[in-house]
């Protein structure tokens, strides 16, 4: 749902260009195909260690009933596509009942399905059909806040003596009297603009909301909150879900002393202003506090007590972990005695937001060497940030750049998470007029902050009306971008040179090649500032080397693998990339990729 560090929403206004993988230049036994491939990566118990996870924004994936809003039956309809793509699990952003202020992240009932998306029976059918295709369904678990229309908050707001009063964060104002509400308790701000405190006239106190006013934070100092969320987790586990992605999980606790946040200042000592016109603040007193770990240790222990009635093996817990450094990311895994997430998101790599070889090399090396024997979860995209074209593209080579980034994603060690439409190169398409904005943060922050509509447009299935997302006579909840005429699944699935074909080939390599499935990463050619190169090495398997040119010019790379004879076999490459018989010095074209096996 949320980004808790401003860098995660650093957008660069660029547009999508076009380029293609040359079929003649692709010399590989791993062809794009619709046939499934068995993973050799891990036991069923540890299925997630080399998993490919696909984020679905249900409103925008597939509408099955012509109301212009995507739904669960629409997702079920597209499961064969996801199977052919090679997906192991789908993460659904919230589809619970909600007033839809934040399009589902303001939850009013955690144990049901919003009628816009279907019914619990539809959900059960989705889980069952996904299971037939060996795909797990992961739910979004939002524990920082509820909707202000949730029964807990309605009760909490009813009276200061309500038994639910301490389920939320209520505080007196500064200088409050019987007739004057006083000032807000402190300077804390909502991540979505302005004060994080909202006055309630009926009970004459302020409540705290880290996000929208309609999303009051729950009180994790109350043991009843712990019990309530464990009951919610149990409800969905019993329905066969494969795990959860925990939203905004680093924001559960705040400084109990309500100390003001520090003001962020420039080199001249002047305060910064954020996208909403507020004085920018640090968030060290409302984010990433140590007690978050206690909650996740508890939830992991609880989840681990449930066997799976859908698949053998463990349920996976994924964390939305925007943390400032690799040490804090490592802490999100917990310890052997008190484990937390199997897969906290590595946002250190995800939001570099520029093609900087040195930064990529350093952060990939960090996650390879600084998290112990844990599994990385790499990603580049999600529903809260402009798509890859806007953050990494140059408007000319965008498809080539997306091909290069996908190579980093799938050819590195660990699990890989990507966002619907990445595989076909969907463009960020923000609204051009304030009156067209659906996302409230775009209304609040316009024009500097246009909101997140641009990365949430409907999935582009074909070149028909509304891109095959909904019926021809319907009105999709967000407009289908003009780019859908050429960027769509139907056009790309029949083109062996498409970005979709590249994704399929990479995912097959990730699943079928022993070095990709099980090997460690070691950086190569580390003095090179233009090309990122590394090798994957697993015991008893041939080494695989990967080189990715991060520039629009041809670049020279030198690869050497200690202890090998240096003879190579090309597995996958882009047009113009070499097909060397031996390792050594060779040249990669603009944004070129070479993947080879070393004998």
Which tens digits make up the pLDDT trace of 152-199? Answer: 999 999 999 999 999 999 999 999 888 888 999 999 999 999 999 999
**pLDDT value at residue 26:** 39
Cis ω for the linkage preceding 383 (within 30 of 0): no
Q: What is the pLDDT of residues 479-534, one digit of tens each?
A: 999 999 999 999 999 999 999 999 999 999 999 999 999 999 999 999 999 999 99
Task: Judge whether residue 545 has pLDDT over 70.
Answer: yes
Q: List the beta strands (DSSP E) in 17-94.
A: 52-56, 89-92
DSSP reduced 3-state for 485: helix
Structure tokens at 597: 């096996």
4-13, 94-103, 122-131, 485-494: segment of lowest average pLDDT: 4-13
* Eight-state DSSP code of residue 46: G
Between 452 and 575, residue with greater pLDDT: 452
Instruction: Express the helix, strand and coil content of the chain in percent, nearest 5 each.
Output: 30, 15, 55
Q: Is residue 22's pLDDT more than 90? A: no
Residue 327: phi and psi, rounded to 5, are: -65, -40
Burial tier of 202 (Cβ tally within 10 Å: 0-12, 13-18, 19+): exposed
CATH architecture designation of domain 516-598: Sandwich (2.60)
Cα–Cα distance for residue pair 450/33, rounded to 1 Å: 39
Mean predicted confidence (pLDDT) in 349-372: 97
Active site residues: 247, 320
336 or 38, which is more confident: 336
**Would you state the structure tokens that stand for residue 446, as one six-digit string?**
């316009």
CA–CA dist 418, 52 (Å, integer): 8
CA-wise closest residue to 65 among 543, 490, 515, 477: 477
pLDDT of residue 176: 84
DSSP assignment letter at 294: H
* pLDDT greater than 50 at residue 305: yes
Which among 156, 178, 177, 176 is positioned nearest to 167, based on CA atoms? 156
- CB burial string 384-398: b at 16+ within 10 A, e below: bbbbbbbbbbbebbb
User: Which residue would you say has higher pLDDT here, 290 or 578?
Assistant: 290
CB 64 within 8 A of CB 117: no
Q: Where are the domains of the chain?
A: 6-146+227-256+284-426+453-460+482-503, 516-598
Could you give the CA distance from residue 48 to residue 497 in angstroms, rounded to a whole number?
A: 29
**Range from 243-252, 321-330, 437-446, 559-568 carrying the lowest mean pLDDT:** 559-568
Please tell me the distance from the alpha carbon of residue 187 to that of residue 259, in angstroms, as a whole number: 8
Q: pLDDT, tens digit, for every residue of 105-156?
A: 999 999 999 999 999 999 999 999 999 999 999 999 999 999 999 999 999 9
Q: How confident is the model at residue 309 (pLDDT cuts 50, 70, 90)?
A: low
Domain 6-146+227-256+284-426+453-460+482-503: CATH superfamily, name plus number: Glycosidases (3.20.20.80)
- Backbone angles phi and psi of 571, in degrees to 5: -100, -40
Rounded to whole angstroms, the Cα distance separating 543 from 515 reads: 6
Integer Cα distance of 578 and 595 in angstroms: 10
- pLDDT for the residue numbered 445: 93
């Amino acid at each position: 749902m949320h980004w808790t560090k401003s860098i995660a929403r650093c957008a660069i206004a660029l547009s999508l260009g076009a380029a293609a993988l040359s079929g003649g230049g692709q010399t590989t036994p791993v062809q794009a195909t619709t046939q499934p491939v068995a993973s050799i990566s891990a036991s069923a118990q540890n299925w997630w260690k080399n998993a490919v996870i696909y984020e679905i924004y249900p409103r925008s994936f597939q509408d099955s009933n012509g109301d212009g809003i995507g739904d669960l039956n629409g997702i079920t309809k597209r499961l064969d596509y996801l199977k052919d793509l090679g997906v192991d699990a789908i993460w659904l952003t919230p589809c619970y009942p909600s007033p839809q202020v934040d399009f589902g992240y303001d939850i009013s009932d955690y144990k049901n399905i919003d009628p816009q998306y279907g019914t619990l029976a539809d959900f059960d059918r989705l889980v069952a059909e996904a299971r037939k295709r060996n795909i797990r369904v992961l739910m979004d678990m939002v524990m920082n806040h509820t909707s202000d229309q949730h029964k807990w908050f309605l009760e909490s707001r009813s009276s200061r003596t309500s038994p639910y009063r301490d389920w939320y964060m209520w505080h007196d104002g500064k200088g409050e009297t019987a007739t004057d509400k006083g000032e807000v308790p402190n300077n804390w701000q909502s991540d979505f603009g302005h004060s994080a405190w909202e006055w309630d006239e009926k009970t004459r106190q302020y409540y705290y909301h880290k996000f929208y006013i309609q999303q009051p934070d729950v009180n994790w100092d109350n043991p009843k909150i712990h019990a309530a969320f464990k009951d919610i987790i149990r409800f969905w586990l019993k329905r066969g879900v494969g795990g959860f992605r925990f939203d905004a999980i680093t924001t559960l606790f705040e400084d109990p002393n309500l100390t003001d946040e520090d003001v962020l200042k420039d080199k001249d000592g002047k305060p910064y202003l954020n996208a909403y016109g507020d004085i920018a603040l640090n968030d060290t007193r409302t984010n990433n506090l140590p007690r978050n770990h206690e909650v996740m240790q508890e939830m992991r222990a609880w989840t681990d007590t449930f066997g799976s009635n859908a698949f053998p093996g463990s349920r996976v817990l994924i964390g939305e972990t925007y943390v400032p450094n690799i040490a804090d990311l490592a802490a999100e895994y917990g310890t052997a005695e008190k484990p937390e997430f199997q897969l906290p998101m590595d946002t250190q790599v995800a939001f570099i937001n520029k093609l900087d070889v040195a930064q990529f090399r350093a952060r990939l090396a960090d996650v390879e060497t600084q998290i112990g024997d844990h599994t990385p979860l790499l990603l580049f995209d999600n529903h809260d940030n402009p798509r890859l074209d806007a953050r990494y593209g140059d408007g000319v080579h965008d498809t080539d750049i997306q091909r290069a980034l996908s190579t980093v994603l799938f050819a590195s060690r660990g699990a890989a998470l990507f966002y619907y439409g990445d595989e076909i190169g969907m463009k960020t398409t923000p609204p051009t007029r304030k009156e067209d904005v659906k996302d409230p943060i775009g209304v609040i922050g316009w024009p500097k902050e246009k909101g997140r509509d641009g990365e949430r447009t409907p999935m582009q299935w074909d070149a028909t009306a509304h891109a095959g997302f909904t019926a021809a006579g319907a009105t999709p909840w967000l407009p289908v971008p003009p780019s859908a005429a050429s960027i769509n699944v139907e056009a790309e699935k029949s083109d062996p040179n498409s970005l979709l074909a590249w994704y399929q080939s990479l995912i097959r390599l990730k699943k079928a090649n022993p070095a990709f499935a099980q090997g460690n990463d070691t950086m190569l050619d580390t003095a090179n500032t233009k090309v990122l190169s590394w090798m994957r090495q697993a015991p008893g398997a041939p080494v695989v080397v990967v080189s990715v040119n991060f520039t629009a010019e041809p670049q020279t790379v030198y690869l050497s693998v200690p202890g090998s004879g240096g003879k190579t076999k090309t597995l996958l490459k882009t047009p113009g990339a070499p097909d060397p018989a031996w390792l050594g010095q060779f040249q990669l074209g603009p944004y070129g990729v070479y993947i080879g096996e070393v004998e």
